[in-house]
Amino acid sequence: MSVPEPLELLFKWIETKGYFIDKSAGRLGFLFPEDEMKAGWTESGRPGGTDITFAPEGNVNLRYWFRTEDPEIIERLCVFAKTGGDGSMAAFWLADDGSQKIVHLGSGSGSTTLCVLADDPVDFLRLLAIGYDEICWGDAYSEPPNAGGEFIVSPNMPYTAWVERTFQVTTPDRGTDLVKWPLSMDAQSSPDPFWRWVNSRLV
């Protein structure tokens, strides 16, 4: 597996903007300044668009998620981001046909979303530009951000503008414009290839 060029460009953008902090375990990257997000956070909303933390976690902790250390499973994945405060993850996945996709693994204790987020890494960046609070909640993808109206997340316009300018793309209105099957790991079935792969190995 390798880091796709669009993600490399994203990480360079994050470093140029200074949207990172260095920890003993490694560097954490963000799409918006953490201090500004916290300062602007109120009971009714916050600035900053999608809240996601990028970190080179790899697959060292996946044995807890899968409850196995089988290399035929673990070595097919590489976690690169936390998608929610509950511990949900985004990872690169090497599919059976040899293609590399970006997938979501819900924590199970909060989010249960289990699916392919993007075949094309640019579409993953577009998903982040839509502006959901967190992308771990797949059941929200059928509506635009802030559809509930109770907690309003203001869009991250500098990030969205960078994505659209850099890759000459537009930002869709809702997640299902990009993610075909954002279903739960508890669903009885799913046509999603990653969902099917995981469930075939958890039996």
Per-residue pLDDT tens digits for 128-168: 999 999 999 999 999 999 998 899 999 999 999 999 999 99
Task: Tell me the sheet residues that pair with 152.
Answer: 45
Is the pLDDT at 41 greater than 80? The verdict is yes
Sign of torsion, CA 132 176 117 119?
A: negative
CB neighbours of residue 22 within 10 Å: 8
How far is Cα of residue 81 from the mean position of the Cα atoms in its chain? Answer: 6
What local confidence, expressed as pLDDT, does residue 12 receive? 98
Confidence class for position 203, pLDDT limits 50, 70, 90: low
Q: What is the DSSP letter of 175?
A: G
What local confidence, expressed as pLDDT, does residue 202 receive? 81
Per-residue pLDDT tens digits for 157-168: 999 999 999 999
Is the pLDDT at 201 greater than 90? The verdict is no
Residues 6+ apart with CB under 8 A from 30: 14, 19, 20, 52, 53, 54
Q: What is the mean pLDDT of residues 53-66?
A: 94
The torsion angles phi and psi of 64, rounded to 5 degrees, stand at -75, -35
Q: How far apart are CA 126 and CA 163, in angstroms?
A: 7
Smallest CA-to-CA distance from 10 within 85, 80, 62, 78 is with 80
Is the pLDDT at 28 greater than 80? The verdict is yes
Residue bearing tokens 């490399």: 8
What local confidence, expressed as pLDDT, does residue 134 receive? 98
Residue bearing tokens 């509950």: 86
